[in-house]
Structure 1
Amino acid sequence: MKEKHSFRSLISLALLLVFSTALLLPGGQAYGKSSSQSSAKTYTVKLVSAELTSNDHVGNEWAWSASVDGKSLDVGDSITLKNAKNSIILKSYAVEQDKIPDEGSAEKSISLKSLSSNKTTVKLTVTVTENRGRYSGNKAVWVFTYQISKK
């Protein structure tokens, strides 16, 4: 039985890695590069929390990932973006690990010009919908909280 769980965990981890590398990379733009150098600033982005806030019979075995401009973060981790230009892209993903995984994701582009204070909190809500069985259509909700600090 433990081997099955380990195999399922490896498959789920592989799915997360594929998602993180294929979908979480910023499309077509080199990391940290932009056309206007004059307004470059440094920002620190911290993943404050990743919380399952509601779960209506979707499942109990979860995995998730979070990224900032394509760089993965764990809860409590920070990433410093030097020479950040126009925006920061936050992405969150959650998957309930069963035979046919239930998954959801959210993405938000934060305009750096819109940041009015030195510390800004941004929340992304990820909804995962049960896809099979008697609870099909039920939802679980994850809330990912990021803190963006100007340097």
Structure 2
Amino acid sequence: MKLSRLPVVILIGSTSLLLACADLHHHEHEHQKNAHFIPGLGEIMAQTAVRHTKLWFAGQARNWELAAYEVDELHEGFEDAGKHHPTHKQIKQPIPELIAQHMDRPLAGLEQAIKDKNLQTFIENYNALTAACNACHQGTEFGFNVVTQPSFNPFANQAFGTGN
């Protein structure tokens, strides 16, 4: 009787091994698929809105280190937008050109204001960045998306006043 169970044990063991290998292959495939995920332009722009807001509160708190970080993150987000979405829907001009045309000057001004730790110049350049966002939206038929200076801090879990 013990000998007659051997084929059943082998069958169950082999099946378990095959299922485990198939499951491992499935997880590897899912990991590879997720490793190539590219966020849509809308998701990148939503994150840009977050960075824009955090930049404002960092500057108001004179947390220049955080403000510099947020400007760098804006640069990265715009770079990702242009790299992953060189064109978009009805927009005629390539996205990288639009970004350079509208964002380069105000971001450079913000970088200098942050380096100088000059709140007044920071505010002027932040407002220029906000106006540039809106000009880009207007010029691409996305004018319904209006960017403003934040009126309240939605980030209750972040202390903007820490830093230098």
TM-score norm. by structure 2 comes to 0.27
Higher relative contact order (CA 8 A, sep 6+): 1
**Larger strand fraction of residues:** 1
**Larger helix fraction of residues:** 2
TM-score norm. by structure 1 comes to 0.29
Structure whose alpha-carbon radius of gyration is higher? 2
